[in-house]
Every structure is written in C-alpha cells, then in structure tokens.
Amino acid sequence: MEKQVFQIVNNQHMFVITHEQGFTTLTTYTNDAGHEADRFISEVKLSTTESRMLMLLLSNQGKVVSKDDIMAEVWKNKFVTENSIRQVIFTLRRFFFDQEKPHHLLLNSRGVGYTLRNSQKLAADNNASGAYSSIIPHALCNHSRGEHDSFIRKVFSRLRSLVNMPHITRLENK
C-alpha cells in the first residue's frame, strides 16, 4: 500500500497527515507569520475508526460525505448510530483545534453529512518527486544559521522521515 501525505492549513496551524498501511499520524505545527519558524506542537496516532473517517473525508475533500456513506465506509458492516459519527467528528475537531463554532475545517451539512475543507494532497507514494517542497514550512526553506538552527534541523529531519525524502538535503549542508 502506498504512503499518502496531506496538509491542512488554517490561520493558526499547519497539520501534516501521513497515512500508510492503515495507520494515520497527525502532526501539528504553528502557522504564525510573526515567528521566524513554524513550531512543532504535537503528534497523534489516530485510532482505526478516526483514521478511516479522516481518510474518507480527505478523499472527498470539498464534497459533502453523507452519513450513510460514512457508516458504510468507516464501520463496514457494523450497525452504528449517528451518535458514533458525531463522536468521531468531535474527536477529529479536537485534534484540529476546530471545536468552536462556526467550524472552519470539519463542516456539518445539517441532516446530510460532513465536509473537510482546506486540505491538499502532497504525495501519493515514496517515489513521488517535486511534491514535497510544499510540506516544508516556509520559514525552514529560507533559514540561515542562528539560534534556531538545531531546532530547524530536528524539524526538517522529522518531516523528511515522515515523507521519506532523502533527495532533499539543502538545510543539512549549510
């Protein structure tokens, strides 16, 4: 199975979602133009149900996914109620810091289903080329030596390991 990498950006955060072999990891960074470098906040490994829900919403990004489709795809042949969907959506909103109304990333189409906004697919497999540059926070690309240099190297190393991009080494060679 191929590795998939997605990015979701809002005013305050950048989320990098890595999905491989049924496992999904959500890594969160600040997205503050006032700081010199985007800062790592957290990394969460999603449960199987959360992973299926998020991947379904990502694959239908910008479209409303009906509650019936969610039940069929996420719970596969198990009987669940709409409350199960709401619980998983609540958990995902907490991970995306999207709990206050109006919601900005995970939108509810009342009575119909849910939509995920602001996502971008960065890579579809380990051999994709050229798709990785947008995953690197903008401040990392133009960073010169300074007090944040070791932090920058750690973040860059972490991002590189997430998407397996050994061909990009320009920060480490400075």
DSSP conformation letters of 100-114: SSSPSSEEEETTTEE
Q: Please, are residues 157 and 102 in contact by the beta-carbon 8 Å criterion?
A: no
**Cα angle for residues 90, 44, 63 (degrees, 5° grid):** 50
Q: Mean pLDDT over all residues of the chain?
A: 75
Q: Please, are residues 20 and 123 in contact by the beta-carbon 8 Å criterion?
A: no
Per-residue pLDDT tens digits for 71-80:
999 998 888 8
pTM of the model: 0.68
| The pLDDT of residue 128 | 40
Q: Using a pLDDT cut of 90, give the percent of the chain over it.
A: 34
Q: How confident is the model at residue 8 (pLDDT cuts 50, 70, 90)?
A: confident
Task: Indicate the class that CATH gives domain 4-163.
Answer: mainly alpha
For residue 74, the tally of other CB atoms under 10 A from its CB is 23
Q: Where are the domains of the chain?
A: 4-163
Q: Is residue 142 over pLDDT 70?
A: no
